Structure 1
Amino acid sequence: MRIIPAIDIIDGKCVRLTQGNYDTQKIYNTNPVDVAKKFEDSGIKYLHLVDLDGAKAGKIVNSKVLEDIASQTNLIIDYGGGITSDCQIEKAFNSGANQITAGSIAVRRPDIVSKWLEVYGSEKIILGADCNNRKIALNGWLDQSEDDVLVYIKNYQQKGIQQVICTDMAKDGMLLGPSTALYLEILTSHDIKLIASGGISSIKDIYGMKEIGCEGVIIGKAIYEGQIKLKELSRLC
């Protein structure tokens, strides 16, 4: 199982939001590279890097952070936020991303994401299926579509998507446990590699996601608030 800590970026700083609300922004570190190095030193191999400025702007804003982390660590980085065109996805990969997460663009322009799957391959493209009351969210969670999360994933599975990150907005940043029932529903109806995100508050939650069959788990606030120690994650890695 992939243990994937998250670094969310606003103004080049490592922050966390609660339920996607930008007004709840809390800065944890002004140097995301230092945070990434600590993850790597703990034996962690993966990183979920989100450009929150980019998600709002509709284009990559914090590429320098990506470049610095990619050049100064060996972490396998999936990058999301502001990837809305061929130019932007090329910028992400050229800046050091190993994979990208297709979020809002996957709602608005499925034709473009389908082309990316053909050009780059399904191992490089992760579908971001973030939802609120089962409806897919977009624009850094500022807006909501009418697409049901299960139907949305199924449609992209038919296009060749194999990896999906699903965040239930109601759980994000709340440290109250993940959306186990939703993830079970997805896993029993789709043959995909599901990465759980949102609500992880303890090592027990991580084991719970492994038991139901998740490919990986993204951990954010629980690390920054000290509820999950890097030493604990090191043992899992």
Structure 2
Amino acid sequence: MIVIPAIDLLENQAVRLYQGDYQKKTIYSDAPWNLVADFTSQGAELIHLVDLDGAKLGKPGNETAIRKIQENSKVKLELGGGIRNLDTLKFYDNLGIDRFILGTSAVIDPKLVDDALVLYGVDRIVVGVDAKDGFVKTQGWEKDVGLRFEDFMERIHIQGVRHVIFTDISLDGTLQGPNFYSYEWILSKYPFQLIASGGVSSIEDLEVLSKIGSGEMYGAITGKAIYEGKIDLRAAVDFCKKT
């Protein structure tokens, strides 16, 4: 299992939201590209980027920061938020982004997932499943489309998706620990390369995640816990390499 530091971008700043609420943000850096160098020096192999403006607008909203992050990065980057069509995928591919996260678009436009898998391959396409109270949320976690996350998981499995990020929105940014039950359920049913997101706040959380199933969890995303000193990234990376 790998630890994946998160950089959430809003107006080209690195921020964290509380339970996905845009009105409850904390700004951590005006130069998020500098965070990449710091995370890399501590052993990160993959960095998770979210374009929060893009998630709401449905188009890229933090191009300045994303370009500088890519230019200064020596590790792989995965990016989500506002990727709703093939033109945006092509734009980020040309920019040098390694993995693309489809969230809202995967819910409302299944054909885009099919096309993206063909064009870019299963290892570069990640589907973000963002849920609250059992239902999938879209458009920056602000819209409920009445789709249970279990049904959505079945759909993307049939489509051939391999990489999935599951976020329990109610725990995101709370430092209260992940939704272990959901991850156990997902891995008991599907052979996804699953990434945990939401509430990961301690080495103990990482230890539990690493033991789910038969040690099948691919990775764990953590953001606020790193920024606020709850998790030492270097120690977390070293721990996960041993598990």
- In the TM superposition, residue 235 of structure 1 has moved relative to its aligned partner by 2.1
Please, which moves more after superposition, 148-157 or 214-223?
Answer: 148-157
Partner in structure 2 of residue 106 of structure 1:
106
Give SS of 1:67's match: helix
The TM-score, its normalising length taken from structure 1, stands at: 0.97
Contact 2:14–2:29 (Cα < 8 Å) also in 1: yes
Partner of 1:126: 126
The answer as to whether partners of 1:13 and 1:32 remain within 8 angstroms in 2 is: yes
Q: SS at 2:229's partner residue?
A: coil
Distance in 1 (CA, whole Å) between partners of 2:62 and 2:95 is 10
Q: Distance in 2 between matches of 1:234 and 1:155?
A: 33
Contact 2:165-2:197 at 8 Å conserved across structures = yes
Q: Paired residue for 2:156?
A: 156
CA distance in 2, matches of 1:44, 1:112: 30
Q: Is the 8 A contact 1:67 1:96 kept in 2?
A: no
CA contact (8 A) 2:42 2:233 kept: yes
Cα distance between partner residues in 2 of 1:115 and 1:215:
24
Identity %: 35
CA contact 2:226–2:233 (8 Å) conserved in 1: yes
With normalisation by structure 2, the TM-score equals 0.95
Residue 7 in structure 1 maps to residue 10 in structure 2: no
Cα displacement string for residues 168-208 of structure 1 (whole angstroms, at most 9, x for unaligned residues): 01111111110001110111011111100000110110111
Query: What's the counterpart of residue 69 of structure 1?
Result: 69
Deviations, residues 119-170 of structure 1 (Å, cap 9, x unaligned) = 1111110011010111111000011121111221111111110010000011
Q: Match for 1:74: what amino acid?
A: K
Q: Deviations over 1:61-102 (max 9, x none)?
A: 112322212221212111001111111111111122100100
Please state whether the residue corresponding to 1:195 is helix, strand or coil: strand
Contact 2:3/2:237 (8 A) holds in 1 = no
Match status 1:92 vs 2:126: no
Aligned to 1:33: 33
Cα distance in 2, alignment partners of residues 147 and 220 from structure 1: 27
Paired residues of 1:44 and 1:233 also in contact (CA < 8 A): no
Q: Which residue of 1 aligns with 2:238?
A: 235
Q: How many positions carry a matched residue from both structures?
A: 237
Structure 1 runs (4+) deviating above 4 angstroms are: none
Once residues 54 and 5 of structure 2 are traced to their aligned partners in structure 1, the CA distance between those partners, rounded to angstroms, is 19
Moved more, 4-13 or 204-213: 204-213
Q: CA deviation at 1:49?
A: 0.2
Partner AA of 1:205 in structure 2: D
State the partner residue of 1:217.
220
- C-alpha contact 1:42 1:233 (8 A) present in aligned 2: no
Unaligned runs of 5+ in 2: none
Runs of at least 5 residues in structure 1 that lack an aligned partner in the other structure: none
Residue 130 of structure 1 aligns to a residue whose secondary structure is strand
CA-CA distance at 1:234 after TM superposition: 4.1
